[in-house]
Structure 1
Amino acid sequence: MTKCLTVNNFPSTAGSSRRGSQHIAPVSVALLVLAGLLPVAGCNRTHSADVVATVNGKAIMRADMDKAYAAQLGDAQQQQQQPTAEQADSLRLNVLRSLIDEEIVEQRAAKMNLTATNEEVDAKLAEMKAPYSEEQFDQKLKASNHTLDDVKHELRRSLTIDKLLNKEINSKITVTDADVTSYYNQHKAEFNLRETQYRLAQIQVTNVPSAQPGNLQNSKAMNDVEAKKKIQALKNRLDSGEDFGSVAMNFSENPETASSGGDIGFVGESQMHSDPAIYAAVTKLKAGQITDILPLLDAQTKKPAGYAIYKLVSREPAGQRELSDPRVQQAIRQQLHDGRSQLLKSAYLEMLHDQAKIENFFAEQIFKNDAH
């Protein structure tokens, strides 16, 4: 009886050495297909049109693939930048591969009794909802076309995968002091800052109308008069002791930083010189202090576009960072750990793939329809 072509028994060039004596070179497979001796779609396996793949017999539904595909399109779909048919199928294949990977890992976790519990899911959900009122959270769900059950499902999957990888991989990684010292000695130049670095946070209010201000309160000034009033009110709240990050999350009009409490990361001193007013104000601050209200200039036209308040989170002076600095040690330790973890995760997933029976009906459908 002819064996059906699946992910498991159709070897790829990249994996040609891992099947041992069972391996058939890709060229040989191609010749067999052309000769009609190895039918690609001749098995006539019966499966529902709603099923796009199976992992060890567990179905992955077309609706799940389509939902993940729509999420991947994101802004492009809203802006009517529709992909071509070939681009769409290519993206769906990538999305489906991710769903297959997740299903493989989830099944492994279930065998090891590591599936996330209801209590763990509820705790994570409460953490997600903490910054929002119930009404705000419901609005975010609606805007993202998700239901509460969708969120819980994704949380359970994410927590389950984290539990498995922590047990199977992260718990087994050890970075020794000798590893840290060796890395530092080989990469000493990386820890020599050429210029002073300023870590800043920002609260921004613009005088340009926008439907998407990006803050929790959906607060937006519509003109310069409103912008002046709003930024002054926010400055008063900061002066009275309110937390900068909380004020930024609720009222800042920079969608890229509001959700992170206004944090814009480290900015080099040379970059700071591009705006003399901000440079002069920030360099006078001690860590934790805030500037007065400063004019916000349009990046292209350099014309006034609103107002901003900056907080100096920390200052890193130029010069060599020594290995004795705990921050240097922690940064190296984390980098080495993450690098090893990523390598082991890739190897682990390949091992699970080898052990799983995967049937990708969607890929077969594309091949059957488009191969001429």
Structure 2
Amino acid sequence: MKRFFFLLLLLALLVQPLAAKTLTKVAAVVNNDIITTYQLDKAVIDALAKNAKGNQLTSKEFDQLKTSVLENLINEKLVEQRIKELGLNVPDPELNAAVEDVRLKNNLTADQLKQAVEAQGITFAAYREQLKKEILRYKLLSREVNYKVEVTSGEVRDYYMEHIDEYRSKPKVRVSSLSFELPADEEAVAELREQVVVTRKQLQKGKAFDQVLAAQGDAAFGGDMGYLVEDDLAAVLREALGGLEVGQVSEPVEMNNQLHLFLITERDSGDSGMDDRVKAEIEQLLHQQKTEARFKEWAAELRENGYIDIRI
């Protein structure tokens, strides 16, 4: 029962008549602003809704969650105060442009975007206000956090060497297939096998795949299968393709009541170095890690230089 008590208590607080909100207490003082117990309870409800365990939390886990939620509210209040102190703002044209950017990126009409937002249980006005807060936060972080974050080429190289297996792609092979349906008649099957042998020799001699396929008429089908990761292939295919070089043709492979020939057209060893894509990905990752670390330092500085009084 204790697991449900906290959730029921918070729900009871939130459904009190409007006049009862005046009875809420001060949970924390942040410089010249306050965070009320009502605001804290509402934030805890939101956090519980996002928590996989939800109302199955123990009393200790609930206390830890509530403490964490209050800390986040304090940090958010400090951020809001710093934004106001610096005079940062988002003019309507800038906010409208941000909304338009979201619409275009999601390929939606203005009405469709509004419907999508309202389907999430919030008004479009509230969505705009939420977007405005995100833009203000971005401006603040760009001014006070991001400009101090730098990722050097040496750090990128060191990270790559430490995680090289994560960036080494698996070997892939590009294959063209030529397939024949196996007939029910045994004599016809024998004739087909002879035809497949002849067809394989044509491919081995370098005759163009498309010409060989076209010459089969309705007796065969196939084409380019694209790049295949060898480790992901069925055992029978791995065995058939293993060791074949570009331009070589597999032995006839019988699968799914069909006979198949596979022509190797390209191979990719997967041992790619640190190309521009990998470098950019690592730079972004390290920048994000450094930004998060710097943000924690910055938030700690705000708290240290401010007045915080937790009263619950």
Bucket of the pairwise TM-score, normalised by the shorter protein: 0.5 to 0.7
Within a 5 Å distance, the mapping from 1:347-358 to structure 2 comes to 347-358=297-308
**In the TM superposition, what is the alpha-carbon distance from 1:358 to its structure 2 partner?**
1.6
**In the TM superposition, what is the alpha-carbon distance from 1:329 to its structure 2 partner?**
1.9
> Are residue 103 (structure 1) and residue 77 (structure 2) matched?
yes
- Residue aligned with 2:72, SS: helix
Percent of residue pairs identical: 25
1:78-99 CA-to-partner distances (Å, cap 9, x unmatched) read: xx96345835554333222212
- Residue aligned with 2:27, SS: strand
- Residue aligned with 1:116, SS: coil
Match in the other structure for 1:56: 31
**Larger Rg: 1 or 2?**
2
Does structure 1 retain, via aligned residues, the 8 Å contact 2:170–2:229?
A: no
Amino acid at match of 1:106: E
**In the TM superposition, what is the alpha-carbon distance from 1:339 to its structure 2 partner?**
2.2
- Structure 1, unaligned stretches of length 5 or more? 1-46, 198-266, 277-315, 365-372
Match in the other structure for 2:310: 360
Does structure 1 retain, via aligned residues, the 8 Å contact 2:149–2:294?
A: no
**In the TM superposition, what is the alpha-carbon distance from 1:182 to its structure 2 partner?**
3.7
Within a 5 Å distance, the mapping from 1:61-100 to structure 2 comes to 61-74=36-49, 82-83=55-56, 86=59, 87-100=61-74
**In the TM superposition, what is the alpha-carbon distance from 1:48 to its structure 2 partner?**
6.0
Alpha-carbon distance in 2 for matches of 1:187, 1:84: 37
Amino acid at match of 1:109: I
1:274-308 CA-to-partner distances (Å, cap 9, x unmatched) read: 9x9xxxxxxxxxxxxxxxxxxxxxxxxxxxxxxxx
**In the TM superposition, what is the alpha-carbon distance from 1:55 to its structure 2 partner?**
1.2
**In the TM superposition, what is the alpha-carbon distance from 1:129 to its structure 2 partner?**
4.2
Does structure 2 retain, via aligned residues, the 8 Å contact 1:194–1:318?
A: yes
Alpha-carbon distance in 2 for matches of 1:336, 1:318: 28
Alpha-carbon distance in 2 for matches of 1:66, 1:144: 21
Q: 99, 108, 123: which one pairs with 2:97?
A: 123
Amino acid at match of 1:322: G
1:195-241 CA-to-partner distances (Å, cap 9, x unmatched) read: 459xxxxxxxxxxxxxxxxxxxxxxxxxxxxxxxxxxxxxxxxxxxx
Change in Cα spacing, 1:85 to 1:63, as seen in structure 2 (3 Å) is farther
Match in the other structure for 1:24: none
Change in Cα spacing, 1:180 to 1:89, as seen in structure 2 (3 Å) is closer
- Structure 2, unaligned stretches of length 5 or more? 1-21, 174-227, 238-266
Alpha-carbon distance in 2 for matches of 1:268, 1:114: 51
Change in Cα spacing, 1:317 to 1:58, as seen in structure 2 (3 Å) is farther
Amino acid at match of 1:113: G
Match in the other structure for 1:337: 287
Alpha-carbon distance in 2 for matches of 1:114, 1:317: 51
Alpha-carbon distance in 2 for matches of 1:88, 1:153: 30
Within a 5 Å distance, the mapping from 1:153-232 to structure 2 comes to 153-196=129-172
Alpha-carbon distance in 1 for matches of 2:282, 2:272: 12
The TM-score normalised by the length of structure 2 is 0.53
Identify the range of structure 1 (51-60 vs 342-351) with the bigger mean alpha-carbon deviation: 51-60
Change in Cα spacing, 1:347 to 1:271, as seen in structure 2 (3 Å) is farther
Amino acid at match of 2:272: R
